[in-house]
Amino acid sequence: MRTTFDACRLPSFSSESPTGPPTLAWETIDVSEGVAVRYPAWPGDAAERLLEVLREAGARLADVPVRDLVTCVGRVADRFLDPSDLIRHRAIDLLVPTAGLSKEMASEILTGMARDWTAERLTELLRRELQDPGVLDGFCRLDEGRSVRAKGPLLTFHVGAGTVPGVSVTSMIRALLVKSAVLLKPGLRDVVLPVLFAEALAEEAPELSDAMAVTYWPGGSSPLEGLALQRAEAVVAYGGNEAIRSLRTRTPVTARFIAYHHRVSVGLVGREALTAERAPRVAQMVARAVSMFDQRGCVSAHAIYLEEGGAVAPGEWAALLASAMADLEAELPGGELTAADASAVHQMRGSAELREASGKGVRVFRADESFWTVILEDEMGFTHSCLNRVVSLFPTSDLGAVVGSLGELRSYLQTVAVEGADDRLPMLAEALCRAGATRVTTFEKAPWPPPWWHHDGDSVFAGLIRWIDLEEIG
Partner 1 sequence: MIGEGGGSDAFASLAHALGTAFKESTGEAWPDDVFDRWAQRVFAYQFDTNPVYAAYVRKRGVTPSTVLGWSEIPWVPASAFRAVPLVSGDSSRVQRVFRTSGTTDAGRRGEHHVLDLGLYRDSLIPNMRRHLYAGRAGGPDRPDGEGPIFPILALAPAPARVPESSLSFMLGAALDGLSGGKGGFFVTEDGVIDMVGLSDALVEAAAHGTPILLAGTAFAFVHWLEWLQARNGGFDLPPGSLIMETGGFKGRSRVLERTEFYASLSERHGVPLGAIVNEYGMTELLSQFYDGPNVATSDMTLEARRHVAPPWVRTRVLDPNTLSALPIGEPGLLCHYDLANAGSVMVVLTEDLGVAVDDGFRVLGRAQGSEPRGCSLAMDDLLSGVPS
Q: Does 448 interact with partner 1 (rule: CB under 8 A)? A: no
* Cβ at position 261, least distance to partner 1 in Å: 7
Residue of the chain from 379, 422, 430, 469 that contacts partner 1 (CB under 8 A): 379
**Cross-strand partners of 394:** 305
* Cβ at position 393, least distance to partner 1 in Å: 14
Q: Which amino acid is at 29?
A: I
String of DSSP letters for 251-288 = S-TTSEEEEE---EEEEEE-GGG-STTTHHHHHHHHHH
Contact between residue 178 and residue 129 where contact means Cβ atoms under 8 Å apart: no
Q: Does 121 interact with partner 1 (rule: CB under 8 A)? A: no
Residues 407-426 that bind partner 1 (CB under 8 A): 408-409, 412, 414
Residues 318-347 that bind partner 1 (CB under 8 A): 336-344, 346-347
* Cβ at position 263, least distance to partner 1 in Å: 5
How many other CB atoms are there within 10 angstroms of residue 428's CB atom? 22
Q: Which is nearer to partner 1, 32 or 118 (CB)?
A: 32
Residues 283-322 that bind partner 1 (CB under 8 A): 295-298, 300, 302
Question: What CA–CA distances, in Å, run from 37 to 102, 103, 216?
Answer: 19, 19, 9
* Cβ at position 445, least distance to partner 1 in Å: 17
Site string for partner 1, 138-177 (x = CB under 8 A): -----------------------xxxx-------------
Q: Which is nearer to partner 1, 135 or 224 (CB)?
A: 224
Q: Does 219 interact with partner 1 (rule: CB under 8 A)? A: yes
- Judge residue 419's burial from the number of C-beta atoms within 10 Å of its C-beta, 0-12 exposed, 13-18 middle, 19 or more buried: buried
- Judge residue 401's burial from the number of C-beta atoms within 10 Å of its C-beta, 0-12 exposed, 13-18 middle, 19 or more buried: middle
Residue of the chain from 188, 200, 269, 328 that contacts partner 1 (CB under 8 A): 188
How many other CB atoms are there within 10 angstroms of residue 120's CB atom? 12
Q: Which stretch binds partner 1 (CB under 8 A): 76-84, 110-118, 324-332, 381-389?
A: 381-389
Exposure letters 253-279 (e unless 16+ CB within 10 A, then b): eebbbbbbbebbbbbbbbbbbbeeebb
Residue of the chain from 20, 44, 315, 381 that contacts partner 1 (CB under 8 A): 381
- Cα(132)–Cα(232) distance, rounded to whole angstroms? 27
* Cβ at position 335, least distance to partner 1 in Å: 10
Q: Does 262 interact with partner 1 (rule: CB under 8 A)? A: yes
CB-based contacts of 347, cutoff 8 Å, min separation 6: 386
- Cα(137)–Cα(150) distance, rounded to whole angstroms? 8
Residue of the chain from 3, 230, 275, 351 that contacts partner 1 (CB under 8 A): 351
For residue 349, give the DSSP letter.
H
Residue of the chain from 358, 423, 426, 473 that contacts partner 1 (CB under 8 A): 358
Contact between residue 125 and residue 451 where contact means Cβ atoms under 8 Å apart: yes
Q: Does 384 interact with partner 1 (rule: CB under 8 A)? A: yes
Q: Does 348 interact with partner 1 (rule: CB under 8 A)? A: yes
Contact between residue 99 and residue 190 where contact means Cβ atoms under 8 Å apart: yes
Q: Does 352 interact with partner 1 (rule: CB under 8 A)? A: yes
* Cβ at position 279, least distance to partner 1 in Å: 25
Residue of the chain from 135, 332, 387, 390 that contacts partner 1 (CB under 8 A): 387
Q: Which is nearer to partner 1, 288 or 349 (CB)?
A: 349
CA dihedral (55, 60, 65, 71) positive or negative: negative
Residue of the chain from 276, 311, 380, 433 that contacts partner 1 (CB under 8 A): 380
Q: Which stretch binds partner 1 (CB under 8 A): 50-58, 76-84, 184-192, 321-329?
A: 184-192
- Cα(374)–Cα(287) distance, rounded to whole angstroms? 10
Q: Which stretch binds partner 1 (CB under 8 A): 81-89, 181-189, 249-257, 275-283?
A: 181-189
Q: Which amino acid is at 222?
A: S
Query: Which residues in this chain contact partner 1 in the complex, by CB under 8 A?
Result: 161-164, 187-189, 218-219, 238-243, 260-264, 295-298, 300, 302, 336-344, 346-359, 379-384, 387, 405-406, 408-409, 412, 414
